[in-house]
Each structure stands twice: as C-alpha cells, then as structure tokens.
Structure 1
C-alpha cells in the first residue's frame, strides 16, 4: 500500500491503522484485509481497482505466496510456508517477552479492585474481582501501561462501628446486635483480641469498643492480605478511607470542587451539582448537621488518585453498585477531567457455585456468604482464577465444583494446562531419547507446511494482537478465549502430525521443525496463563 502511494498509483494518505484478520475459512488465505475499501473513497477510485493496485505490490513482497481479491475488494493474503514457519523460531527466541507490546505505553493507570469492607472475609463477588483485576493488571503492564493496583479500605463509618460492636458482644458472651456481623470469624477475632490485649474486658464499655474497633480492623485487614496473597493477588497500595478524613483531604477536595464552580449550599448542607454531568440527582457532600457523607470521601479519593499521578482511574465494583457509575463519572467531570477518558467504572455480575447440581449458598465460617477460603478449598487457586477471569464481567458466572475439580475437557483450566503438559511430555521423551532440538540456524521453517501446522502457526501469530486488545478494552477474558482455541489447535496438530520418530525411524529436519513449533506453542500458553495468574504444570 505504501509502495503504491509512493509510486503515485494512489493519491491518498497512508492510514495509521489497517485491519488485518485471520479468515475463519482457511481457503481464504492466511490473512485478510479490507484496506482497499478503506482507501477507495479518498482515492476516488473503485474499491476493486484499489485492491488490484495494492495486491500487485503485495505480491512483490518476499514471503507472500499469493494475493487474491474477493468480492468488492477484499484482499486474501497467503504466505509461503517458510515465512509462516519462521514465527516458531521468533517465539522461542523471544520467550516470556513474546506477545508483549507497547499499545498502552506510558499510560498511567490506577486500578482499584476488590475493596470489600474490612468487616469480614472476602466473599465470592470479591473473589471474582481478585481474579479479574489482578489479571487485568498483568495484561495492562504487558501492553506498556504503568499500573498501580489499589485496595480501598472502607475503614471509617457506621459499618466499622457495627463490626466493633459485634466483636465486643462476642467477647463478652452477649448476642451480636441485630444489625451486626455473624459467623465463626467474629468469635475467632474477638478471642484473638482478648488474648492479645489483657484486661480489655475490664475497661469501660466505650473504651472496650474502641479497642475492638482498632484491633479488630488490624486483624481483619491482615486476614484480607493473607487471603489475597494465597490467591496470588497483590496490591501496590492499601488505601485507607480514614486517612482522607484524618488528613483533611475531604475538606480540601470540597474546596477544590467549589473552585471549579460545581459546589453549592442549600438547606444548610453542601452539595455537588453532579446532575450537570448525567447523574440522576445532585449529591450531598456535608449534611446540615455537619456530618460528612460517603460521597465526599469518594470525591476526595478520586482527587487523591489524580494527585498521585493517575491518568486513568479504573474502578472495579460489585454487581450492586450500578448506581455508582454516573456519580463517580460526575465527580471526575466536576473536577475538570474528561469523564469519558480519565475514569472508567466496571461493574461485575454475580457468581454462583454448584455442587452435585445444587447451588451452594453459605459458608460455615462466615455465616451467610461463600468466602475466598471456601473457593480455594473447593476448587483450588488455578481453577478459580482461570474460570473467574475467562468470562466477560458483564455475564453471571456459575462455578460447578464437580466440573472444576475434574480432569476432563469440560474443565477449561485443565484443558489448557493439559496442552502445556503434553508439550512438556514431548520434550521429556525427546530428552530421554537423546533428541535435542536443532540450533536456530539449522531450523527449516518451510517444512511446517501441513494444514494443522499452518493453522497452529497462524493462531500463534495472533497473540500480540489479542493481548493488545485485551489491554485496550480492559477485557482479560480475551486471553483465556485465545488460549482455549490455541490448546484446541495444538491438540489437533499433535493428533495429526508425528513429532518424534517411532522406533528406529531416523531423526529428521521435520522432527526438529516440529519440536520448534511445539516449544513455541508451549511458550505462548505459558505466557498467556501467566497473565491470568495460573500455573503451568509440567505433569498432571
């Protein structure tokens, strides 16, 4: 295309982006593009005529076997086997770096996820965000973004007082308040406090309550960090809501928003005019009695993220937080930011768990919720992380314990991990027989010419594009979808293409070429699973 423009055959500007895709039908070549249709109007030339010009130039490129024109001007491009097979060498040599790109280079993102109240164990909805959020962070970093992962601790407000009162009641052998927290964990934490703070029960009730508030919060946050660590999810920052109030950040945020012209006083209260930016009603920042609202802390928290260098603040919230979308975006707009660029709010849908066809609803330890420890005990970290991250967050997920603990193709994480172990098995057998993959300079990529090898190579080549799209769209499930297709293509290749010689058959150049291809596939599966925080076992 550029050559046609430079030669004066087309009088158009070369577009920055050209769509090139893998056709679903292999008869349509290795790659297809609609660039001729994209250029036709600007060139003042029929699309088919533009396609003829571009096709003629493409046919001159080394490695292009043929270029066909279909329909009104679609270009179907077929590479020769050597050019396509060369990808195997490139992937193996790149190793863990293969797929990484700079699609989001320099973009500074604050990614907040989980952020469950520190009043109990992480529940199953938070587990979903732990898997998705951590995977998204890995994907964003792999596409060049500078990412800060953050857990927002709601350690101020009424819920913390209820939590402290529940601990105090349990420690004193009294019934937990009707609006308090229940479950074995409350008893466990209360005992830990009485054991760790001798004489606490001898204090006046108000002083007791403060001890249970302070110590209970410490123990609960430590428990959250422990469970997140066991799940393989790590945060750069645990940000305290209480710190916003103690530091005066809330009052400063209100003044900054007032300077922007969106704060007003009415009925003795202080308001933010969020309806100017799509919210369904204006929001109170400080009530008439002087009490600061949660919304005021939300505003201060957003400004804190921006002050700490975040260009884009991504909030990942639970299924019951739909009402937060417009109000959070309105905060950004009231602060003078672009509500369509500087802030993104993702809402995750519900998660259900089944065992023997029946829904599992409760945890013994937490009382009325399924916790992260339950999920890990029932299906393991790998199965949980992979399954929770493999679906769009717009959809409800059902985790079937029976399926996810089985070693069958119905279990998606087993299916992908099994492909990895199959490749490791090939390498082990080769080592046992003294077969060493040839040096890179002796690799003959042109021998990878069967339809199964071509199909596998074509899909391997898609990984950088898939990864870039997953980062740009904030959709890590695209990586899982890609991996499952890759595993299927590898299994077909394995079933149709003999990799190692049988019996006394000689080791040939084709043997070495297929070992390179198997190693390339293993590399990509390992890279993809790593982005999802899932292990790559060598045996199963």
Structure 2
C-alpha cells in the first residue's frame, strides 16, 4: 500500500475509533483529502478533515482534530499536530519513507498504474476536424490533450475508448468536391478567379472576370492542399477518363476519392503526433441509417419538437438554453445540430458510463443544445462532459505568427512538428490547463537549454542513464536493490525526493479525476528540478558503497517515474541527449 493510502486508512480508522468511543457522533463524514504542505516544517502531509467534519460533528474543528490525533498511535507515525483553524499535519517516520522507495522499485513499470476499475467504459471523443484540409495548431492542442487524457485515464484504472467523429457528410464535403473540380480544370489550363470577401452588408463587391475564366466557388476551399489532391486524383485516374465523365459524376468521384485522400493524410499527421483512435465513427452512417429522422421523430413523439414557420424546432429552452433551436429547416434539410443529436443519441445507446467530448471554444453554444436534446430523450445529461479547448497563439522572436509559410493560411500541425518536433509540441500544448489560452513560444520550444521545460525534464532522464554508463564503465554491479540499505539516505534532499516520488500515484488519480494532464506536466518539471539540484549537491558515484547503491536505487526510481509520466503525456524519455 502506498504512503498516502496508509495514512488515509489510518485517519479513517482513527475517525471510526473516535466515533465508537463517543468522542464524535455517528454520521456521514466527508471524504478524507490529503495535501502536501507548501513548507517542510508543516510535515509530510496535511488534512482538513476536522474542519470539513465540523458541520456533521457539531464541534469545534480543533477539538475534532485533537480527538482524532489521540486515536492515531501508529508505529509509522512520528507525530501529528493541530495547526491553524483545525488542520492536522502529519510527520512520518523515516522507515515508512524508505519502505516507499522499495515499493516503487519493486513495482517497476506498474508504479502509479491503478488496477482496472469497473467494466463500464469512458468514451473520449476528440479532434474530429472536418476532413477537408490539413490539421492546424489548434487541432494539435486538442490532439495532444485528448490523447494524454486517454493515457491518463487508463493509468488511473479507467476502461477508455477513444473516438474520432468523421464529419464526412454535409455541405463541407460537397464544397471540397467542387473545389477539387475547379482545381482539376485549372490543371488543364483554365483560369480561376477568386471572389473577394463580401461587404459588411452581405453584398458581393464588383470584381473583374476575364473572358473564359472560371469563378471559384465562394465557399470553396482555397488551400494548396486541394491543388495537390486534384493532381493526385487526376494522375491516378487519368485526365482522359475524368474528362470523358459528365461533371456531376466527376464531382461525385472527386468527393469520394478526395475524402479518402484527406482522411489518409489526416490519420498520417495524427500518427506522427503519436495520436491513434480505437474507433473512427463516420457521420455518414448516421445519415444512411436514417438516425437523424428517427431521432427527430422520437423527440416529436415526446413533445420536445414543434413546427413553426415550416421548420421543426427543439424545445431547448425547457433545459436552460436561451432560445429554441431549429433541427429541420423549412426546406426539409437537417441542421448540423440534428446530426449532432443523432450522433450523441447513438453514443448513449452504446452504453458508455461517461462520455467526454473535446470541442473548440467556438462551439460553446452547442453544449447546452446537445445536452438539452439528451435530457429530452430521458438520458442523464451529466453523463456527457464537454471540455472546451481555448485558442493557441504562436510566437516567434516575440512576434505573433498567424500565417503558414507554405500556404499563407493558418500554421499546420505538420509544419509545427517539422520545426519544433513532436516532444516539444506535445509538452507545450499540455503544460497549461485546457481552459486557458496558450501562448506557444516556438524559439523556446526549439531551444536545447534548461529554460525549455521539456528539454529540462528529458535531460534529467538522460542524465540518470549517463550515470548508469559511468557505473558500468567502473565495473560496479547495480540494478538489484532487494538488499539495499536505504537508511543511508539521510540528507534532506534525498528524503524530499522520495516523498515527491510517493506523490506520483495520487497525482495520477487526481489528474485523471479533474481531466488535467497539465498537472502531470507540472509534477514532472518539479521532480526534474529536484533531481538536478540533488545531482549538483552531492556525488552519486565514488562515495561509500552502501550509500552509492542506495543513491543508485533512488535515481532509478526517479527515472522510472519520469518515464511513466512522460509516457502519459505521449513524450519520449531519451537515454541520451
């Protein structure tokens, strides 16, 4: 059992003993929460359980704390003290600290990995960008966060399924197909004219159209990737074959082949970014099974949809929305909301215990609408958690970077990976909470210095392996720590490092519970900082043999936790830098 669990179990026992002895009344006491005090003089751990229990016990928090301490006579506890308004600070005996280090080394790669919980599955759906062009850096943040969250939840013992919702139906795919058609004509010598942006009143400004030129669709995709797609398809299918087809059939072919090509490139980018999915869910399946129609009809039967001005409206105001929403337009065409409703109904029917969607901040208005529809069906809307991804601002040389060097549009994820690398990109995306805007410093991310947090963490891991190489060169046997005397680790820094390592399992659990991979990033940085300080303060090799072996065991545990944590973040743990 880990250090925190032993202490928590001891507090629970003391609480029950205090109740049994009449010192506290029976009742529903709150869950025990342990924290590491900000200063060493306040002990190894602290809890506010006495303050949280005051309402149940109807007693002064300090009196509750004193009563609990009086029932905590454990051989692993040096002492416990009441502080402030009723905090309890715990000072653990050194033997317990050493036992923790042994337990970490014995657990190996399973340290911090929680046993699998109930069979119920959590589904995490993320990225889900339209397959009409390359992923940009905003998608990159969602990809890094979503994949790290999946890893984190699995480490915390949850059964997780990751899903990508492919928006392969609707106007955006039709616009992509038409855009490929125009680029196909351009490849054969046609001149394209691109309409300007509309005026503020919605009118189109006048613009020149040379004789014989084709006006590119106003809602078409203008990126250079469409040119590449048109060229790839034309060379594969043959220009003669394509020209022999009527335009409608050719556009239909461009739609299918373009979608395949875009999805393949999208999947390749994500794979290069260490992002994979258990399931790729096609929006087309919702349309083909007529699930949109069935969902709307079901809502109508429940009295949650009504007709007005020829359209069908969801009574979303019944569930907290600021106005009702159209699900079927007056021309009979479903809205995007209708498709989202059908898709999420499908999710609920698949029986997930919890569903987590990661959306861009610009989709915040959809949260209430989708949840309203689920509540209208009779589902529990609280089973659906929507996390909103805030914007990413790229900076180079202190200047905001808005445009891609290649396309003149937004910077693509591929470009960022090429310039910065996967490890730095993922860490910088993950080092801030999802709900805060992220300023991404390209120069810092590329630097090989201690100012770069991911380099600093990885260097700690590599430095430990450098020590291993020195040990091997010296002919010193190491690696089996079953008989190691860890009581030789008596310095304050050594003991603090072990206690920091002991926090890792709880950090995994709490980070998963709060959907906060950035906590793991921060923990790893703190651990690496402590290791670098330890390395500078004292020798590991060439000291007393017993102390040398104990310190090798300590840095082995540090490397283990660094590797585990970096693995959760999808970042490599290099042995040489």
Instruction: Indicate the residue corresponding to 1:122 in structure 2.
Output: 135
Task: Note the C-alpha offset of 1:96.
Answer: 2.0
Task: Note the C-alpha offset of 1:458.
Answer: 1.6
Question: Is 2:77 aligned against 1:64?
Answer: yes
Question: Is 2:228 aligned against 1:188?
Answer: yes
Q: Choose from 105, 118, 125 the match for 1:92.
A: 105
Task: Note the C-alpha offset of 1:366.
Answer: 4.1
Question: Is 2:561 aligned against 1:520?
Answer: no
Q: Distance in 2 between matches of 1:255 and 1:98?
A: 51
Question: Is 2:311 aligned against 1:269?
Answer: yes
Q: Which runs of 5+ in 1 are unaligned?
A: none
Question: Is 2:387 aligned against 1:346?
Answer: yes
Q: Choose from 156, 159, 167 the match for 1:143.
A: 156
Q: Choose from 57, 62, 84 the match for 1:48.
A: 62
Change (3 A) 1:388 1:71: same
Instruction: Indicate the residue corresponding to 2:398 in structure 1.
Output: 357
Q: Distance in 1 between matches of 2:426 and 2:145?
A: 8
Q: Choose from 275, 300, 303 the match for 1:233.
A: 275
| 8 Å Cα contact 2:30/2:52 also seen in 1 | no
Work out the number of aligned pairs and report it.
534
Q: Distance in 2 between matches of 1:184 and 1:212?
A: 16
Question: Is 2:319 aligned against 1:282?
Answer: no
Deviations along 1:431-487, one digit per CA (max 9) or x if unpaired, are 222223374442223222221112212221111121112111111111101111111
Question: Is 2:371 aligned against 1:326?
Answer: no
Question: Is 2:533 aligned against 1:492?
Answer: yes
| 8 Å Cα contact 2:29/2:56 also seen in 1 | no
Deviations along 1:291-348, one digit per CA (max 9) or x if unpaired, are 1211110110001111222222211111321211211221221221222x21111111
Instruction: Indicate the residue corresponding to 1:171 in structure 2.
Output: 184
Instruction: Indicate the residue corresponding to 1:529 in structure 2.
Output: 566
Instruction: Indicate the residue corresponding to 1:379 in structure 2.
Output: 420
Instruction: Indicate the residue corresponding to 1:446 in structure 2.
Output: 487
Matched position secondary structure for 2:447: coil
Query: Which stretch of structure 1 is more off in the superposition, 9-18 or 416-425?
Result: 9-18
Q: Choose from 369, 391, 401 the match for 2:410.
A: 369
Query: Which stretch of structure 1 is more off in the superposition, 166-175 or 44-53?
Result: 44-53
Q: Distance in 1 between matches of 2:384 and 2:185?
A: 46
Taking CA–CA contacts closer than 8 Å with sequence separation of 6 or more, which of the two structures ends up with the larger relative contact order?
A: 1
Instruction: Indicate the residue corresponding to 1:244 in structure 2.
Output: 286
Q: Distance in 1 between matches of 2:482 and 2:440?
A: 47
Question: Is 2:138 aligned against 1:132?
Answer: no
| 8 Å Cα contact 1:194/1:201 also seen in 2 | no
| 8 Å Cα contact 1:184/1:364 also seen in 2 | no
TM-score, normalized by length of structure 1? Answer: 0.94
| 8 Å Cα contact 1:499/1:514 also seen in 2 | yes
Deviations along 1:112-163, one digit per CA (max 9) or x if unpaired, are 1111111100111111101000000111111122211111111111111111
Q: Which runs of 5+ in 2 are unaligned?
A: 1-13, 193-215
Task: Note the C-alpha offset of 1:91.
Answer: 1.2
Change (3 A) 1:274 1:14: closer
Deviations along 1:223-269, one digit per CA (max 9) or x if unpaired, are 11111111100011111112211111111222332343312222322
Q: Choose from 17, 34, 37 the match for 2:48.
A: 34
Q: Distance in 2 between matches of 1:366 and 1:122?
A: 13
